[in-house]
Structure 1
Amino acid sequence: MTSISSLTKAVRVALLATTSAALMASTGAYAAEEEDSGIERIEVTGSKIKRIGELSPTPVTVITGADMMDMGITNVADILNKLPSSTVGISPETSNNTIFANGLNQTNLRGLGSDRTLVLVNGRRFVAGSNGNSAVDLNTIPTAMVARIEVITGGASAVYGSDAIAGVINIITRTDVDGVELDASYIQPEQSGGEESQFSLTAGGDFLDDKLSTVFNFTYAEQKELRPTDRDFLDNPVTSIYNPDTSDGAPARIPYFGRKPLSWINEAGTFFAKDGGQYTFDNDGNMKVFDYGEGLIEGPGNNGNYCGPSCEGYDPVNYGLIRTPLERMVFTLNTDYEINDDHKIFTEITYVDYQSNGESSPVFHTNNPISADNAFLPDDTRQLMTDTGMTGFNFYRMDTEFGNRTYNQDRETMRFLIGIEGIISDDWDYSFHAQRGQLDETTVWGGEIWGDRYDQAKDAVFAADGSIVCRDADARAAGCVPLNLFGENQASQESIDWVSTSAGQTAKTTQTTAGLVVSGALFDLPAGYVSAAFSADYRKEESETNPDQELIDGTIFGNTANPMKGEYDVTEFAAEFSIPLLSDMFLAHDLGLDLAYRWMDYSTAGTDDAWKIGLNWAPIEDLRIRATKSKSVRAPNIGELFSPAGQTFESFTDVCDKINVELGPNDNRKANCQASGLPEGWNPTDAWYLSNHAGSNAGNPDLKAETSHDYTLGAVYSPSYLEGFSITVDYWSFEITDAIEYIDVATAVRYCYDSESLDNVYCGRFTRDAATGDIVDFVQSPVNSATFDVKGVDIESQYDIPTDGFGDFKVHVIATYLEQWETNPTGFAEDLQVDVGEYTDPRWKAMFSLGWNLDALNLEARANYRHASVASNDWKPENNNYNDIPSSTVWDFTGSYAFTDSLSVRFGVKNAFDLAPPRNPYVYDGAGYYDTTGRAFFLGANYKI
């Protein structure tokens, strides 16, 4: 045994020496020694097999926790979203107006969606970050606990199961803590707003005669809100208007620079009189002529709805958030207890509590009728109405008395995992774990009002004794207090209290998992050991929401919600094999084959499978060529399956009517309309044409799993004659079919009849009246109708350059070239969307760094590049004159200095040149793709006791 162990150690050391550059460049795999009394195997990311001297055929990027700290990163999501292979998912920068998502931090590999990106912690699943969803909230992972993050940008369902279509984020936590470690950091933007601070305490060590090993972490982090008024480029927005020049050849729309208030509504209230004038009220409630400032914006269309910056109208720049505030506390405790030399018990405990809130404008009312006998009307307003013969008017007002509407979120995550792992024999080991995770969410809407009370309170009249009361006698008996809406701050506190309210919803998500992995060497071939891993997994997901009754009844302004409860479970069995085919031969330094297969049985989507074939070939020691071909799947999540029906009203065209039935793209429409019982020349009733139509939005319990067929082909080159240099190039392709897409009723009606037959996913989305043929009900829900076809190239290179006396240099480049991005939400050729080259999916994204280390000092310059793009590939010169969006390169300069072995500081400036987003109507506010913080300085310190 000693000789085998020594030999394999030597193999490992040689492997690490020859491939260290590739591993540091994060493109091969991260090798970690597995200590046991048998054959020592190297654990390769993207696989559950522990192998001898082999790199994974799947491309992997590795980020270390130390790298994140040195970059001034306080949230795992922030570093992932900088990677060229990733796109921002839901984040504090994108979630302000998404009520139940405020503050979430999710990543989105390849831009294929957060639900198609699987996040693991130590190779195991983590409870979802929001109700009904499957994506993990990265706010629950403290940066101080991160040893490294492994990003597997390829289909990995055969190894890890559902949700891994776009890839896997595997977060490995620290085990190397001995003592107490204090860490603090602070980020201060040059302009106020968006400040960040973080403090963590990490402690660990070995106890009970070194049998018990523990790592504990407490992290407190706070991110302050960022408002549009906090940044010069947001306070002076770039929007668009219809072009006042309507001559032939002129573009229809042009950019508009500066504030652009609405000209027909404001915080004091405004109305239009029969004399043609528009009036509002001053701070004392006196009527005055509405001031348009620089005047109404000239031009066609709705330009006249806006006026110049000093106009008295409602200005949305004054409301809302560009980045939602976030305050979080994270507790983590991981332990290992050695039962004996061959077996140990391990646990992972996580508790997270964090708050965030979104914010939008106050409640508002348009076409709000005010009667001529309203008791709060100023005398001059009464006179104007008398003189012009008005018995009332429609009032347009932002009701600031009730404050801005807020959406406060409190998320509490608890996770407990226990497992046992050990050695079965010299060649085989095992690992078993069971886990329970739970997310509790509490959402409270603030700044809300009772709709009926508002109507009762604003309808104020004089009583017989001259006092002002609510007109409705029942409302008066219930305690109604009259509400003065004419001017700002005119309403009494009693009336505000009578009308205002808050409402809330609680939600719970529970994840229960268990998994067993047995891995080892099957037998020896001339080229090496055939290794295998066999696994069995069980997972149950449960979600429920419980809104307040007021939300169910729809009595709160602008908000309704329905309770939801759903669950599913899945049982999975998988096998992986690593087969060495050739070794130490001409043009075959080594050649290996990797196979993986997973069978899944969902209680909702039924049975499915995933597989993977990988080839790993090193024709010479310096060059490695790798290829994979795989099938991956994603089962629908609880929200997609079980979201409760909520009423909605839509206006749409019935394509079977007398006119539109003749306009179909083929003969299918007419034939299918007649086959459904609608005779030639049929029309809906007049009543149907003149109304919006009631239906509902809901989940779809009939959804099946999405399927992706993907492949990668790449090479890793680490020339022995140029020590410290490596470069990798990987071509990748994803073709997803039966992708889940939300379908509205207009689309469902259109494609029900344009399909080859009535047997399709669209016809079941609506119901016709048997007598009239009118569409009388519909359900807008997700269906398996979409496709994705995405291709590109990842390039990564690193060069470590040591010098004598001048320190060591390191150059690192990661880049992604997007060759193709096509999606089709319906499967019909005319709906194909080609997005590559648009600002959401630019051709090139890259991250470059140049580092220098001399003794205790480290300095680094880092750039994030986003290629020039367009707003739309379907652009035509007559559309607008702002389609082009320039490239963007944001530079960070950072450094660290170790004063002693115990104390180190880090410092730097982020976005050093204060680069704002491009001045374009589509992205001037960042749109989630460009930095909105601006130049910011950070300082951090780490002290080990």
Structure 2
Amino acid sequence: MKNQLFASTLALGVSMFALAVPAMAQDPATAPAAQQEAPEQQAAPVNVSDIVVTGSRIVRDGYTAPTPVTVATTEELARTTPSSIPDALNKLPQFNNSLSPSKSALNFSNAPIHGNVLNLRGLGTPSANPKGPLRTLILFDGMRVSPTEYVGTIDTNVLPQLLMQRVDVVTGGASAQWGSDAVAGVVNFILDKKFTGIKGVAQAGISARGDNGNQRLGLAYGRDFAGDRGHIIVSGEYSNSDGMLRSQRDFANVGYNFVGSVVGCTPPAGQPTTLCSPGGPLNPYTIGTDIRISALAPSGRITASSVTGNPFVGQVINPDGTTRPFNTGTPVGTTGFQSGGDGYKIPTTGNAIAPLETYTFFGRLSYDLTDDISAFVQGSWSRTNLIYSTQVNALVPPSQAVSIFKGNPYLTPALDASLPTANDYITIGKYDAGQPAPIAKERTDYWMVNAGLNGKLAGLNWTVTYSHGDSVHTLANSGLYENQKLYAAADAVINPANGQITCRVLLDPTLASRFAGCQPIDLLHGDPSASTPAGYAYATGTSRYRATIRQDGIAANLSGSLFDLPAGPIDFAVGVEYRKQKLRLTTNADPALLDTAAERSAFYAGLRGVPAVNGFAGTAPPLFYWLTNVGSAEGSLNVKEAYAELAVPILKDTAFFRELSVNGAARITDYSTSGTVKTWKVGATWKPVDDLLLRATLSRDIRAPNLFELYAGAQSGIGIVDDRPTSGLNQNVPTVTSGNPNLTPEKAKTLTIGGVFTPSFLRGFSLSLDYYRIKVTDLIDTLSAQQIVTNCTNAGGSGVPECSLITRATPTSLPSLVSIVPANIAFLKTSGIDIDASYRTALGNGALGLRLYLNYLQKFDAQQYAAAPIAHYAGVNVVSSNPAGFPRWRGNLSIDYTNGPFGVTIAEQYIHKMRLDIPGGPLPIQFIDDHVKAVWYTDLAVRFTIPHGDGNFELFGNVNNLFDKKPPLIPGTVPGVNLPTNIAVYDFIGRAFTAGVRFRF
């Protein structure tokens, strides 16, 4: 099937919106002139004067909102990017560092952040431990969409894409009109409520390298009934992606990594050691190959022994059980790393894109009860299945180490002889000895139901709506080391009764029933799943959790005109809303159940050599499973809101004041968790002449903490920490992250100033330019494990709150646990300019459309806490395990030509050059070469329409990344965590093809 698809693909793929309809407009005021140029063969354009733009709650024909709004028709979004509407939106420069199936790291399964989660202005980043963008409000036909995942994010793939008419993107603060979360703006998916007929799509795609196959099927139907008083629409959609592994891209298999460039760097006398830290002024980063972590070896390494001076400590365990000296490879300028040799790295067998399957069903029934009152009820259901491999099982000291005691039959005679007494042991660590990777299977079932009445009364418009959202997310991460069983299976002995190898616990009558079924595991002969398959099966299990988040809301709105002024009517909108949310997460691996010495002692009773239980003081305990230990969570909140908006015309049709109007909005919100907060917005529009509209807004916006930020239970993780100033080590350290019920709302101030130029002397041309400035204070963020350790170290090891979050066995040992808690500690400032230019005209017998979207990022500054340095992100390509990019310039230029049934589109995406950096540290990070060149991506698309009866078929073909532009080489600082590029910014799939058919009757 893939070969047939590849051979039949028509080529020529994606565009930025052209002619058939007004496509994308920074404001509806830019569209009418362009519509007048549309040739007769095009479809009837959308009547822009009837559009109620999301920038305002006020319904007023021809009203131009003072807030910049991008209006994107879904027909053109699908034409340019057939995979999905969110994928198409993410090609616009207003969106930055969004999450999508191809832009998410898949090393852990602690948080479900792998869907299409939109990130306006990049305000969902940066974050030390992100759960996904949370500062963009998502609406469905003006109604707030409930979270699709328990972490508070919304996967926009769950919305019925075939029945969407357009998407309104408000690129400024809108909390006064729409409520919390609209700090960066609003994305409102507008439903085609009056769709009549039948339409569908069938398509398939594949990369030029034969991977990442994908398919999409969809069908929608609509009709009137009861003498046109009623209307029904239904749709069903299916999409599937086969995904791809990291190893399927050659540059992922080289072992690229940023490391210090100066081996043995020593700071001048009296100077701080940080000068020689990797990336420090005296040890700038360079790109190394085959970089490995020196602490362990894949087949195993002896890291410690109860016997002082044991000669085998530090040696590598060969697959046959013998030992040899550790091969240190080629030294690099990062302590604990090496090039080649016996170290380890995260293998490339993980997923770069996880296989993803989505089902979506939607139905809506509306009926005119009277000439002035209508009722509707609508509902949708979606299911998303995701499967991917997580990090391989590992034994990572100090907390995830295993001790092998004298008498263990898997010890070689030499190793056994090095242990004089029965209670002596060696401690081993190993990583990726060839055992199968654990598999994470995630499923999200999402229900959304809306019902309401709307009508007219005394010339006013009113609506009353009820909405319900229900998300059930389940995860099963199978094949993980189950630590209690692992320690029982690893403590193997000879059964004196029959001479067979068995688990020691089975010979103890007080333990035998508790560990019934125990099979010994051999950790000293390479891959334990091969040497002792029964023992490996016993020692591995499945970490599971189930999370439910529900939202119920009631809203009532009233809008219309109060009275007329000489310049026109004074329009208003008022309303009240009530929402209630409830979160419940249950799990079989809650770290809180092992957070006391008594609980750990009871859980691991009868087992030998368990860290933090059997004499390993100061060491964090091993939890239930390797890596995936998600804590229970439960909580609820309710929100009461009231808002009012007013639009007042001041002048009209006078000299230099063809129009002058002001707009204001205010909202008061009461959260059961954090109290009362007020938001407001003021704006104005001025038309000195017919061809020019000037506008400005100033607003105060908020984002309240969500339930997961407030009530999340402890979740385990792991990450590299450079602790050289204290312990001299640069190794993996366990972390535990939890919620904070004392969080308060984030607060933002947003200013936009701009204008729209539609010259009458150049019909079909429009230009909008808007300046924006956003400042967010009391921003909810978390410090990374590295930042916590660094801050404590810089304070001398005590005296700052961060030190209380660190557990060490001794004052100079590597941290065995770092606790991470969110807090209102940060602020963020960003500013820039949005430019939108379009030109549409007839050319020959067809129609030509050109469109340019451009964003200039002037500033993006963040400070993670009051004493931290301000991090400057504008123009920076962030090197991190959670990479992000903030190019100064980002744009999208498209050229579309339609002639009769044939259409072709060429689109260019531009990402400006950036410099490499890791902002926010006490010293500037240095690279031998910190330049990242600008990148252009060319997409092409062709389409051919075949009329049939009252409808038509449209055959289409797309080529994404036509010239197969390779992503810049930007590895991380931890071997193997991600592909060696910035996955949040650049395309790593390469040239890819899509072909299919759309039809409508």
Shorter-normalised TM-score: what interval? 0.7 to 0.9
The residue aligned with 1:210 is: 228
> Which of 409, 413, 417 in structure 1 is aligned with 2:446?
413
Give the secondary-structure state (helix, strand or coil) at the position aligned to 1:931: coil
> Which of 121, 129, 149 in structure 2 is aligned with 1:130?
149
The residue aligned with 2:871 is: 833
Whether the 8 Å contact between 2:632 and 2:714 is mirrored in structure 1 is no
The answer to whether the aligner puts 1:274 opposite 2:311 as a matched pair is: yes
The answer to whether the aligner puts 1:159 opposite 2:196 as a matched pair is: no
CA distance in 2, matches of 1:636, 1:238: 38
The answer to whether the aligner puts 1:61 opposite 2:67 as a matched pair is: no
The answer to whether the aligner puts 1:340 opposite 2:379 as a matched pair is: no
Letter in structure 2 aligned against 1:429: N
Give the secondary-structure state (helix, strand or coil) at the position aligned to 2:56: coil
The count of residues paired between Structure 1 and Structure 2 equals 862
Q: Could you tell me how far 1:562 is from its partner in structure 2?
A: 2.8
> Which of 468, 471, 478 in structure 2 is aligned with 1:436?
468
Whether the 8 Å contact between 1:297 and 1:303 is mirrored in structure 2 is no
The residue aligned with 2:117 is: 106
Whether the 8 Å contact between 1:76 and 1:142 is mirrored in structure 2 is no
CA distance in 1, matches of 2:800, 2:175: 26
The answer to whether the aligner puts 1:702 opposite 2:732 as a matched pair is: no
CA distance in 2, matches of 1:237, 1:397: 19
How is 1:556-595 mapped onto 2 (pairs within 5 angstroms)?
556-595=625-664
Residue deviations 1:126-173 (CA, integer Å, cap 9, x gap) = 11021142x321121233222111110100011001100110000012
Give the secondary-structure state (helix, strand or coil) at the position aligned to 2:291: coil
CA distance in 2, matches of 1:203, 1:651: 53
> Which of 958, 963, 971 in structure 2 is aligned with 1:908?
958
Give the secondary-structure state (helix, strand or coil) at the position aligned to 1:43: coil
CA distance in 1, matches of 2:550, 2:30: 45
Q: Could you tell me how far 1:696 is from its partner in structure 2?
A: 7.3
The answer to whether the aligner puts 1:173 opposite 2:199 as a matched pair is: no
Q: Could you tell me how far 1:234 is from its partner in structure 2?
A: 2.3
Residue deviations 1:182-202 (CA, integer Å, cap 9, x gap) = 311112101233222110111
How is 1:459-858 mapped onto 2 (pairs within 5 angstroms)?
459-464=491-496, 465-472=498-505, 473-474=507-508, 478-485=516-523, 486-488=525-527, 489-548=529-588, 552-553=593-594, 554-644=623-713, 697-742=737-782, 780-805=820-845, 807-828=846-867, 830-839=868-877, 840-858=885-903
The residue aligned with 2:10 is: none
Q: Could you tell me how far 1:90 is from its partner in structure 2?
A: 3.3
CA distance in 1, matches of 2:487, 2:419: 26
Residue deviations 1:175-227 (CA, integer Å, cap 9, x gap) = 35322223111121012332221101111111222222111110111122221
- The 1:142–1:584 alpha-carbon spacing in structure 2 relative to 1, beyond 3 Å, is same
TM-score for the superposition, normalised by structure 2:
0.79
Letter in structure 1 aligned against 2:634: K
The residue aligned with 2:613 is: none
Letter in structure 2 aligned against 1:74: S
Give the secondary-structure state (helix, strand or coil) at the position aligned to 2:624: coil
Whether the 8 Å contact between 2:560 and 2:572 is mirrored in structure 1 is yes
Q: Could you tell me how far 1:905 is from its partner in structure 2?
A: 1.1
Whether the 8 Å contact between 1:906 and 1:941 is mirrored in structure 2 is yes
CA distance in 1, matches of 2:803, 2:180: 27
Whether the 8 Å contact between 1:242 and 1:303 is mirrored in structure 2 is no
The answer to whether the aligner puts 1:96 opposite 2:106 as a matched pair is: yes
Letter in structure 1 aligned against 2:118: T
- The 1:599–1:494 alpha-carbon spacing in structure 2 relative to 1, beyond 3 Å, is same
The residue aligned with 1:403 is: 436
CA distance in 1, matches of 2:664, 2:300: 69
Letter in structure 2 aligned against 1:43: V
Q: Could you tell me how far 1:888 is from its partner in structure 2?
A: 1.2
Residue deviations 1:588-627 (CA, integer Å, cap 9, x gap) = 1111111111111111121111111111111111110011
- The 1:696–1:907 alpha-carbon spacing in structure 2 relative to 1, beyond 3 Å, is closer
Q: Could you tell me how far 1:302 is from its partner in structure 2?
A: 3.1
The residue aligned with 1:889 is: 936
Q: Could you tell me how far 1:555 is from its partner in structure 2?
A: 2.6
Whether the 8 Å contact between 1:251 and 1:878 is mirrored in structure 2 is no
- The 1:174–1:820 alpha-carbon spacing in structure 2 relative to 1, beyond 3 Å, is same
The residue aligned with 2:986 is: 930
Q: Which moved more, 1:712-721 or 1:229-238?
A: 229-238
Give the secondary-structure state (helix, strand or coil) at the position aligned to 1:115: coil
Q: Could you tell me how far 1:549 is from its partner in structure 2?
A: 5.8
- The 1:103–1:453 alpha-carbon spacing in structure 2 relative to 1, beyond 3 Å, is same
Letter in structure 2 aligned against 1:733: R
- The 1:622–1:263 alpha-carbon spacing in structure 2 relative to 1, beyond 3 Å, is same
Letter in structure 2 aligned against 1:193: D
Residue deviations 1:483-503 (CA, integer Å, cap 9, x gap) = 223133433443233222112
Give the secondary-structure state (helix, strand or coil) at the position aligned to 2:484: helix
Give the secondary-structure state (helix, strand or coil) at the position aligned to 2:331: coil
Q: Could you tell me how far 1:575 is from its partner in structure 2?
A: 1.1
CA distance in 2, matches of 1:748, 1:373: 42
Letter in structure 2 aligned against 1:422: G
- The 1:494–1:944 alpha-carbon spacing in structure 2 relative to 1, beyond 3 Å, is same
Whether the 8 Å contact between 2:263 and 2:333 is mirrored in structure 1 is no
Q: Could you tell me how far 1:88 is from its partner in structure 2?
A: 2.6
> Which of 135, 138, 154 in structure 2 is aligned with 1:119?
138
CA distance in 1, matches of 2:229, 2:285: 71
Letter in structure 1 aligned against 2:480: E
Give the secondary-structure state (helix, strand or coil) at the position aligned to 2:462: strand
The residue aligned with 1:373 is: 407
Whether the 8 Å contact between 2:477 and 2:543 is mirrored in structure 1 is yes
Give the secondary-structure state (helix, strand or coil) at the position aligned to 1:101: coil
Q: Which moved more, 1:891-900 or 1:260-269?
A: 260-269
CA distance in 2, matches of 1:932, 1:602: 43
The residue aligned with 1:71 is: 80
CA distance in 2, matches of 1:299, 1:650: 20
TM-score for the superposition, normalised by structure 1:
0.84
Q: Could you tell me how far 1:336 is from its partner in structure 2?
A: 1.5
The residue aligned with 2:335 is: 302
Give the secondary-structure state (helix, strand or coil) at the position aligned to 2:917: coil
How is 1:443-454 mapped onto 2 (pairs within 5 angstroms)?
443-454=475-486
Whether the 8 Å contact between 1:319 and 1:361 is mirrored in structure 2 is no
CA distance in 2, matches of 1:228, 1:353: 26
Residue deviations 1:33-91 (CA, integer Å, cap 9, x gap) = 79xxxxx9762331121114321111011222111221233233212222211113333
Aligned CA RMSD, in angstroms, stands at: 3.9
Residue deviations 1:453-487 (CA, integer Å, cap 9, x gap) = 21222222223332212223235552321222313
Whether the 8 Å contact between 1:214 and 1:333 is mirrored in structure 2 is yes
Residue identity over aligned pairs, in percent, reads 26
- The 1:341–1:244 alpha-carbon spacing in structure 2 relative to 1, beyond 3 Å, is same
Q: Which moved more, 1:190-199 or 1:728-737?
A: 190-199
Consecutive unaligned residues in structure 1, runs of 5 or more? 1-14, 26-30, 35-39, 654-659, 661-685, 687-691, 769-776
Letter in structure 2 aligned against 1:899: I
CA distance in 2, matches of 1:223, 1:647: 29
The structure whose RCO (Cα within 8 Å, separation 6+) is larger is 2
Q: Which moved more, 1:492-501 or 1:15-24?
A: 15-24
The residue aligned with 2:157 is: 139
Q: Which moved more, 1:265-274 or 1:734-743?
A: 265-274
The residue aligned with 1:675 is: none
Give the secondary-structure state (helix, strand or coil) at the position aligned to 1:107: coil
- The 1:644–1:372 alpha-carbon spacing in structure 2 relative to 1, beyond 3 Å, is closer
Residue deviations 1:676-725 (CA, integer Å, cap 9, x gap) = xxxxxxxxxx9xxxxx9999754332322221111110010010110100
The residue aligned with 1:670 is: none
Residue deviations 1:403-437 (CA, integer Å, cap 9, x gap) = 31232211000011101111113x31111110111
